[in-house]
Chain A
Amino acid sequence: MSEHALLELDNISKYYGNIIALSGVSTSVAAGEVTCVLGDNGAGKSSLIKILAGVHQPTEGSIRMNGEEVSFASPREALDHGIATVYQDLAMVPLMSVWRNFFLGSEPTKGLGPFKFIDTAKAKQITKDELTKMGIDIRDTEQPVGTLSGGERQSVAIARAGYFGAKVLILDEPTSALGVKQSGVVLKRIVEARNNGLAVIFITHNPRHAYPVGDRFLILNRGHSMGSFAKDEIAIDDLTRLMAGGAELEALEHELQASGASSDRPLAQR
C-alpha cells in the first residue's frame, strides 16, 4: 500500500537527551484511511504527533508526503502542508463564540487597508453550513464554545480542519475525556472525515474506540513499534494485548475478575 500512501513515516526516532521517546517507528497513512496509533501512557504517542504536527523534529528517520521528503520546522509549516492537528485540550478558546473559533486565525475579511473587517455574516453562514454538513446542528453560532460539550468541541475542530483544506487530520486522544455517547459522536466524525477523503491519524489508548473506525493500527509500547497492521490482520483482543506489552494485562484481568463485580454492570446501571 505504500505506493499510494499520502504520508509515510520511515524509521522515526526521537531522543530527549538520553531518553529514547521513540525508536524506529514506521507506518504509512493513505487518503481515505484511518490509521490508529495505539499505546499506553508513555508509549510515545505524543512524541509521534508532535513530530507530525511540526512541534518537534525527529532525531532520526524521515517523513515523506506524496513520496517527497518533508520536514516541518513549525506548526504553521505542517499546517501549510495540509497536516491539521486537533489536540484534546487545546482545541478551542472556550469563551469565544463558535464561529469565531471556527475561523480563528483565518477570518474572512472585507473592506480595505486599516478598515478591513471580518465578514461576520459570511463567517457565521459558513460555520453553520460546515457544521450541518458534519451533522452538528448548532442553533446559534454566537454561543460560546465553552457551552458546547466536549464531543461537540472536537467535532467543531474536526469540521474546521476539513474546511481549511487539511489532507491529513491528526486527532490526539479525542475521546479520552468523553462519555460513551459523545465518544460515539466523535468516532462518527472520524468516519465522515475519512469518507471525505482525508487521511486520519487517530491517537488513542482505547482499542475499543480504535477498532471500529481504524483501517490500520500502529501499536506503540515504550517507544517501540509493536507493529503496524491492517484491520484484517489483527483482532481487537490482540490490540489490547500488544499495547500493554502482552502478559501483564492478562494477569491483571484475572485479578480483577477474581475480585468479584462483573465489569459491565456499572454501565448498565447508569
Chain B
Amino acid sequence: MTLQGGGTEPLGSTPPDVDRREVWLEEPLTTIDKPSVQPAEPELMVANRGATASAVAPDGDERLAYRSVFQRLFMRPEVGAIIGAVGIWTFFWAVSGTFGTVGQTFGWLDTAATLGIMAVAVSMLMIGGEFDLSSGAMTGAMGMLIIYLVKATGALGGRGFPLELAIPLSLALALGIGYLNGWMVERTGQPSFIITLGTFFALIGLKLGLAKRFVGQIQIGRTDEASDFKYFRPFFAAEWERNKHEFAQRDFWYIALVAAGVLISILAVCELWFKRRAEPKATGLVQFLVSAAVGIAAGIGLNVTDGVGANLAIGVLIALCIVVGLHGWVSWRYEPIGERGSVALDSTMIRRTVLGLALVVLGGVVAVVMDSKSTNNFVFPFTTQGVRVMLASALGVAGLTLLAMVSQAALRVNAASKFIATSALALGIAVIAATIYIASKAPKFRAALFPFLLFLAVLIFTWGMLASRFAERRAVAARADRLGNRMLALGILSVLIGLAIRMLFITKAELLAGVPPAKTSVRLLWFALFTAAMMWVLARTRFGSWTFAVGGNKEAARQVGVPAARTKTKLFMLVAFAAWFVGILVAFRINSIQANAGDGQEFLYIIAAVVGGTLLTGGYGSAFGGAIGACIMSIPLIGISSARWNTDWRFLIIGTILLLAVVSNRYLRTKAGAVRR
C-alpha cells in the first residue's frame, strides 16, 4: 500500500496534492506504531498563524507563510528598542524645555557612549549564554589601575610609569581577569552568575583596600600626572566644541541629506514590499521625476518666502508632490492590483473609526477649551494645565490606537477598505497636528511637531493609497531584498550624517543669536566604531557565528566542532577589554576616579542588553540593540535632570523601562512569529 492512495488515504490533515516528493515509501509506513503518530504536524500551524489567512506563499514551500517587510523587520532583535528610544526621547523632549537642544543631546550621547561600549560587549557575552557581574566594578578597577601606575605613589618608588607602559599593562591584567572568569566558569561548570559575583566582590574589595592602602582616601587622581599624558589625551578625551566650528552651508547639507535619506528609505520599503512589474511603465518614472523637481523647488521656495499663507500653500504643494511622486515611482516599477474590491467595513470597524476620530477631535477641543494661564511647576499634574495636557494626550492616543486597529483589521478585507481605513488614520494624525498648531503655545511644538505630524499623516495616507493599488510581493526575491536592504541602510546612514552635520557645526546666524556652547568628545566616535565592529563580528565572522551557537545550543555546537569553551572564554575577555577601555575613557574624562566607580553599573549593562532585544537565555540578540539600549538608559538619566525633576526617580523609570521592554520584546517576537521556542 502506498501513501499516494487518493482521497481515502490516512493523512487526512494534508491535502492529497501537496508536496508529493515527500510522500514516499514502498513499505508499510501506515502501520507504524502509535507513539510516532503525532496529531497535526506543527508547521501547518505556522501558516495559519501569519497575519492573514491568505498569506500562504503561492509558490515554493506551502508550509511557510510569507512574512511581510514589517513582520521581518520586527523579527530583528533591536527594532523594539529603537521604537522605545524614539518614544522616550519624544517624552522628555515634550516635558523638558531644553532636552532637544544640541548640548543636551551631546550630554546623553556621552553618557550612552561609556555605558554603550560596555552594553555592546555584555550583549555579546549574553548572546553567548553567560553573564558577567564583575563588568561594572572592572571599569572602575581599570581606571584606578591606570592612575596608580602613572601616579607617584610611595609604593611604586615615587615615580610612576608613563602611560605607554601603564596602558598595555592594565590591558594585560584586564584580559587576565576576563580569562580567569571564563576559565573558572568552564572548569567548574557553575553558572557564570555565581562565579562573576565572586569576582565582583573581590574587585570591590581590592579597589577599596588598595585605595586606602596607597592613597588613604577613595578618590584617586590624577591621570594628567603621567609624563606622556598630552600624547594620549587626543585618543581618549579629545573634545569638539561646536561653537568653534562654523559651516556656512550647514543647513543646506543637513536638509538635503535628511530629505534624501528619508526618500531613499521610503523607496527601499517600496522595493521590499511591492512586486516588480515585468515591464516598467515609463510614464510613472516621468511622474516621479516631475514631482521630485517640483517638490525640491517648493522646498527651496519654503526657505526664501515668509508668512503663514505662503508656507501653507507650499506645504500643500509639497504634500501633493509626495503623494503624486511616490505614486509615479511605484507605478513605474511595481505591479498594480487587479481586483481592488469595494469598501466593506463591518459595523465594528465603522464604529471604531467614528469613535476614534471623535476621540481625536474631542482631544483637540479639550486642548483648546481648557487652556489656562498656569505655568509648569512642581505640582504640574494637578493643575488645570496639567489635566488639559494629559487629557488631550490620552484622548489623542486612544483615538489613534482605535484607528490603527481598524486599519490593521481592514487589511484582511480588501484593498479598497484598507485604503479608507488608513486614510482615517492619516486624518486622525492631521487633526492632532492641527490641534497642536491651534492650542499649543510652545514654539518648538508648533515649529517641529506640527509639520512632522502633518508629514507623517501625508506619508500614511500615501502608503495606504499605494498599498491598496499595488500588489505586495509575497515571495522571497533575493535580489530585490538585497537592493531594498542596501537602500534602507543608505537612507538611514544619510539621515544620520545629516543629523551629525547639524549637531557638529554652527551657522553664523546661530552664533549671532547666542546659541549656548555645546561640546562632544571622541568617546562618541569610539562608541560608534566599537558598535559597528561588534556588529560586523557577530554577523560576518566565525567567532560571531560561534557566539550565537554556544549561547543557543552549546552541546550541538560542540558536536560539530565549535570550540565552545574557548569561545565563551574569549567573550569574557571581550567584556574585560571593553571594561578596560571604558576605564581609560573615564580616567581621562574626569582626570580622577572614585574607588567605587562603576560598581553596580553591571546591572545597567545587562538592562541595556535586554532592552536591546538580547535574550537572557542566550542565542539571540544584537550588538546594535545593546547600543540602542544604552541610549534608552541614558536618555532618562539626562532627561530627568533636564526636566528639573528629582533625579531619584531615575531608578523607577529604568525599572519600568526594563519591564516594558521585556514584555514588548516578547510580544513583538511572537507577533512576528520569529521562532518556535
> Beyond A180-B11, A184-B29, is A104–B557 a contact (Cβ under 8 Å)?
yes
Instruction: Tell whether, in the assembled complex, residue A105 and residue B41 are in contact, meaning their CB atoms are under 8 Å apart.
Output: no
Contact of B548 among A91, A95, A137, A211 (CB under 8 A): A95
A178: chain B residues within 8 A (beta carbon): 36, 38
Q: Flag whether A65 is at the interface (Cβ < 8 A).
A: no
A179: chain B residues within 8 A (beta carbon): 36-38, 41
A107: chain B residues within 8 A (beta carbon): 542, 545
Stretch at the interface among A15-23, A28-36, A221-229, A260-268: A260-268
A266: chain B residues within 8 A (beta carbon): 34, 37
Instruction: Tell whether, in the assembled complex, residue B559 and residue A90 are in contact, meaning their CB atoms are under 8 Å apart.
Output: yes
Cβ proximity bits A161-196 to B, threshold 8 Å, 1 near / 0 not: 000000000000001111111111101100000000
How far is it, in angstroms, between the C-alpha of A177 and the C-alpha of B556 when the chains are bound? 18
Instruction: Tell whether, in the assembled complex, residue A180 and residue B30 are in contact, meaning their CB atoms are under 8 Å apart.
Output: yes
Contact of B39 among A106, A268, A270 (CB under 8 A): A270
Cβ proximity bits A90-119 to B, threshold 8 Å, 1 near / 0 not: 111111100010011111010000001110
Contact of A117 among B29, B46, B540, B562 (CB under 8 A): B540
Q: For window 545-567 of chain B, which residues contact chain A by CB distance below 8 Å? A: 545-546, 548-549, 552-553, 555-562
When C-beta atoms are compared, the residue in chain A nearest to B617 turns out to be A95
Q: Flag whether B269 is at the interface (Cβ < 8 A).
A: no
Q: Flag whether A254 is at the interface (Cβ < 8 A).
A: no
Q: Flag whether A81 is at the interface (Cβ < 8 A).
A: no
Cβ proximity bits B6-25 to A, threshold 8 Å, 1 near / 0 not: 00001111100000011111
Q: Flag whether B676 is at the interface (Cβ < 8 A).
A: yes
Q: Flag whether B660 is at the interface (Cβ < 8 A).
A: no
How far is it, in angstroms, between the C-alpha of A117 and the C-alpha of B620 when the chains are bound? 20
Instruction: Tell whether, in the assembled complex, residue B553 and residue A149 are in contact, meaning their CB atoms are under 8 Å apart.
Output: no
Stretch at the interface among B60-68, B243-251, B335-343, B502-510: B60-68
Q: For window 33-55 of chain B, which residues contact chain A by CB distance below 8 Å? A: 33-34, 36-39, 41-43, 46
Q: Flag whether B3 is at the interface (Cβ < 8 A).
A: yes
How far is it, in angstroms, between the C-alpha of A103 and the C-alpha of B546 when the chains are bound? 11
CB distance from B355 to the nearest CB of A (A): 38
Q: Flag whether B375 is at the interface (Cβ < 8 A).
A: no
Instruction: Tell whether, in the assembled complex, residue A184 and residue B3 are in contact, meaning their CB atoms are under 8 Å apart.
Output: yes
Contact of A187 among B12, B25, B676 (CB under 8 A): B25
A268: chain B residues within 8 A (beta carbon): 10
Q: Flag whether A135 is at the interface (Cβ < 8 A).
A: yes
Query: For B10, B25, B64, which residue has the most chain A Cβ atoms within 10 angstroms?
Result: B25
Instruction: Tell whether, in the assembled complex, residue B24 and residue A185 are in contact, meaning their CB atoms are under 8 Å apart.
Output: yes
B558: chain A residues within 8 A (beta carbon): 75
Q: Flag whether B26 is at the interface (Cβ < 8 A).
A: yes
Cβ proximity bits A112-151 to B, threshold 8 Å, 1 near / 0 not: 0000111010000000000000010111100110111100
Instruction: Tell whether, in the assembled complex, residue B32 and residue A209 are in contact, meaning their CB atoms are under 8 Å apart.
Output: yes
How far is it, in angstroms, between the C-alpha of A264 and the C-alpha of B109 when the chains are bound? 68
Instruction: Tell whether, in the assembled complex, residue A180 and residue B24 are in contact, meaning their CB atoms are under 8 Å apart.
Output: no
Instruction: Tell whether, in the assembled complex, residue A95 and residue B675 are in contact, meaning their CB atoms are under 8 Å apart.
Output: yes
Q: Flag whether B391 is at the interface (Cβ < 8 A).
A: no
A208: chain B residues within 8 A (beta carbon): 27-29, 31-33
Instruction: Tell whether, in the assembled complex, residue B32 and residue A149 are in contact, meaning their CB atoms are under 8 Å apart.
Output: no
Q: Flag whether A241 is at the interface (Cβ < 8 A).
A: no
> Beyond A76-B561, A104-B560, A179-B36, is A146–B540 a contact (Cβ under 8 Å)?
no
Cβ proximity bits B620-650 to A, threshold 8 Å, 1 near / 0 not: 1000000000000000000000000000000
Instruction: Tell whether, in the assembled complex, residue A181 and residue B37 are in contact, meaning their CB atoms are under 8 Å apart.
Output: no
CB distance from B275 to the nearest CB of A (A): 16
Q: Flag whether B90 is at the interface (Cβ < 8 A).
A: no
Q: Flag whether A71 is at the interface (Cβ < 8 A).
A: no
B619: chain A residues within 8 A (beta carbon): 93-96
A269: chain B residues within 8 A (beta carbon): 12
Q: Flag whether B373 is at the interface (Cβ < 8 A).
A: no
Q: Flag whether B476 is at the interface (Cβ < 8 A).
A: yes
Instruction: Tell whether, in the assembled complex, residue A183 and residue B553 are in contact, meaning their CB atoms are under 8 Å apart.
Output: no
Contact of A270 among B3, B10, B27, B553 (CB under 8 A): B10
Instruction: Tell whether, in the assembled complex, residue B549 and residue A93 are in contact, meaning their CB atoms are under 8 Å apart.
Output: yes
Number of interface residues of A (CB under 8 A): 60
Instruction: Tell whether, in the assembled complex, residue A185 and residue B22 are in contact, meaning their CB atoms are under 8 Å apart.
Output: yes
B230: chain A residues within 8 A (beta carbon): none
Instruction: Tell whether, in the assembled complex, residue A147 and residue B11 are in contact, meaning their CB atoms are under 8 Å apart.
Output: no
Instruction: Tell whether, in the assembled complex, residue B553 and residue A90 are in contact, meaning their CB atoms are under 8 Å apart.
Output: yes
Q: How many inter-chain contacts with C-beta < 8 Å in the A-B complex?
A: 173
> Beyond A79-B561, A96-B549, is A180–B42 a contact (Cβ under 8 Å)?
no
Instruction: Tell whether, in the assembled complex, residue B552 and residue A96 are in contact, meaning their CB atoms are under 8 Å apart.
Output: yes
Q: For window 507-561 of chain B, which residues contact chain A by CB distance below 8 Å? A: 536, 540-542, 545-546, 548-549, 552-553, 555-561
Instruction: Tell whether, in the assembled complex, residue A93 and residue B548 are in contact, meaning their CB atoms are under 8 Å apart.
Output: yes
> Chain B contact residues: over half helix, strand or loop, or mixed?
loop
- Size bin of chain B's contact surface: 35 or more
> Beyond A268-B10, A270-B10, is A139–B64 a contact (Cβ under 8 Å)?
yes
How far is it, in angstroms, between the C-alpha of A44 and the C-alpha of B340 when the chains are bound? 64
A183: chain B residues within 8 A (beta carbon): 29, 32, 36
Q: For window 233-270 of chain A, which residues contact chain B by CB distance below 8 Å? A: 263-264, 266-270
Contact of B541 among A104, A118, A263 (CB under 8 A): A118
Instruction: Tell whether, in the assembled complex, residue B476 and residue A139 are in contact, meaning their CB atoms are under 8 Å apart.
Output: yes
CB distance from B613 to the nearest CB of A (A): 12
Q: Flag whether B677 is at the interface (Cβ < 8 A).
A: yes
When C-beta atoms are compared, the residue in chain A nearest to B615 turns out to be A95
Q: Flag whether B344 is at the interface (Cβ < 8 A).
A: no
Contact of A147 among B14, B541, B556, B676 (CB under 8 A): B676
Q: Flag whether B387 is at the interface (Cβ < 8 A).
A: no
A95: chain B residues within 8 A (beta carbon): 548, 552, 619-620, 675
> Beyond A93-B552, A184-B24, A208-B29, is A144–B36 a contact (Cβ under 8 Å)?
no
Contact of B675 among A79, A147, A209, A263 (CB under 8 A): A147
Instruction: Tell whether, in the assembled complex, residue A94 and residue B560 are in contact, meaning their CB atoms are under 8 Å apart.
Output: no
Query: For A106, A144, A180, which residue has the most chain B Cβ atoms within 10 angstroms?
Result: A180
Q: Flag whether B674 is at the interface (Cβ < 8 A).
A: yes
Contact of A139 among B22, B23, B43, B60 (CB under 8 A): B60
Instruction: Tell whether, in the assembled complex, residue A181 and residue B542 are in contact, meaning their CB atoms are under 8 Å apart.
Output: no
How far is it, in angstroms, between the C-alpha of A87 and the C-alpha of B61 when the chains are bound? 26
CB distance from A177 to the nearest CB of B (A): 8
How far is it, in angstroms, between the C-alpha of A138 and the C-alpha of B43 when the chains are bound? 14
Q: Flag whether A46 is at the interface (Cβ < 8 A).
A: no
Q: Flag whether A206 is at the interface (Cβ < 8 A).
A: yes
In order of increasing CB-CB distance, the 4 nearest A-B pairs are A212-B27, A105-B561, A93-B552, A105-B560
Q: What are some 20 contacts across the A-B interface (CB < 8 A)?
A: A75-B558, A79-B561, A87-B556, A92-B553, A93-B548, A93-B557, A96-B619, A104-B557, A104-B562, A120-B540, A149-B43, A180-B29, A181-B3, A181-B14, A184-B25, A185-B22, A187-B29, A208-B31, A212-B25, A266-B37
Task: Known A-B contacts: A105-B560, A212-B25, A267-B34. Give 19 more (CB < 8 A).
Answer: A76-B561, A79-B561, A85-B559, A94-B553, A94-B675, A109-B542, A146-B677, A179-B38, A179-B41, A180-B32, A180-B36, A184-B22, A187-B29, A208-B28, A208-B29, A208-B31, A208-B33, A263-B34, A267-B30
Chain B residues within CB distance 8 Å of chain A: 3, 10-14, 21-34, 36-39, 41-43, 46, 57, 60-61, 63-64, 475-476, 536, 540-542, 545-546, 548-549, 552-553, 555-562, 619-620, 674-677
